[in-house]
């Protein structure tokens, strides 16, 4: 059973700068500026991704034939007007992970608008058994009793859990949190969340520090080379005197 999640808008981002003199320090300044731009760019992309959980595990999709295919959603609130738009992203998630997702949209759990975790858990497990005959589905329950007040819960079958582990589930829930406040239709909101989550789950996120460390190394090489050249030039001038 997945965790209770509620989303709120995040804070903004700021930055600063500096200045230096002398030839060696100019070299260092150039390196610093490059590093700073790289770091700010990474921070900006991280903010744009809405603090999406990193994918640190190499995952293999479920083998074909694992899923007894079903529909993709139940809409108790009549939100979905374009089935094709919604299921496009969900089908991409399925293709990426081998796990078929299922979305359940409602404003209550058995008539309760603010259910306890136990109430949701019992409802979700029962719903999973009613909807599916395999262990290869991911059931996402989206509960919104009133605008801007929502929660997301999930149940992954035993086989699905080999792909949709806690980290993978967090990635999907993070995308739900991110796109909830975007200017998207309901179909686009869910479709994009599943689509992007599927891609991220099945890829291992690269560390942003690798290119930064490479830049630092190049900077030190330039600085050492400049220092050697300056000393050699000074030595040559002294010999000329």
**Residues 133-146 pLDDT 10s:** 999 999 999 999 99
Give the span between the Cα atoms of 241 and 239, in whole angstroms.
Answer: 5
Looking at residue 183, its pLDDT comes to 97
Residue-range definition of the domain harbouring residue 86 = 76-201
The answer to whether position 71 is within a domain reads no
The answer to whether position 48 is within a domain reads no
The answer to whether position 159 is within a domain reads yes
The answer to whether position 66 is within a domain reads no
The total number of structural domains in the chain stands at: 1
Location of structure tokens 């979305």: 103
Residues of the chain with pLDDT under 70: 1-50, 206-216, 220, 241
pTM for this prediction = 0.71
CATH of residue 89's domain is 3.10.310.50
């Amino acid at each position: 059973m997945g965790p209770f999640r509620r989303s709120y808008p995040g804070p903004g981002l700021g930055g600063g700068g500096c200045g230096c003199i002398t030839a060696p320090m100019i070299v260092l300044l150039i390196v610093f500026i490059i590093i700073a731009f790289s770091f700010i760019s990474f921070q900006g992309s991280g903010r744009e991704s809405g603090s999406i959980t990193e994918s640190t595990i190499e995952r293999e999709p479920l083998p074909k034939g694992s899923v007894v295919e079903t529909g993709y959603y139940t809409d108790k609130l009549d939100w979905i007007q374009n089935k094709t738009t919604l299921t496009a992203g969900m089908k991409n998630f399925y293709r990426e992970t081998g796990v078929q997702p299922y979305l359940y949209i409602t404003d209550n759990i058995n008539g309760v608008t603010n259910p306890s975790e136990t109430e949701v858990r019992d409802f979700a497990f029962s719903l999973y058994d009613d909807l599916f005959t395999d262990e290869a589905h991911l059931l996402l329950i989206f509960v919104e009793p009133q605008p801007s007040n929502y929660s997301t819960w999930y149940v992954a079958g035993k086989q699905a859990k080999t792909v949709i582990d806690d980290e993978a589930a967090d990635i999907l829930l993070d995308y739900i949190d991110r796109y909830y406040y975007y200017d998207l239709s309901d179909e686009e909101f869910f479709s994009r969340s599943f689509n992007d989550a599927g891609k991220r789950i099945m890829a291992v996120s690269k560390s942003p520090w690798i290119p930064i460390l490479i830049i630092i190394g190049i900077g030190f090489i330039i600085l050492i080379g400049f220092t050697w050249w300056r000393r050699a030039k000074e030595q040559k001038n002294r010999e000329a005197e």
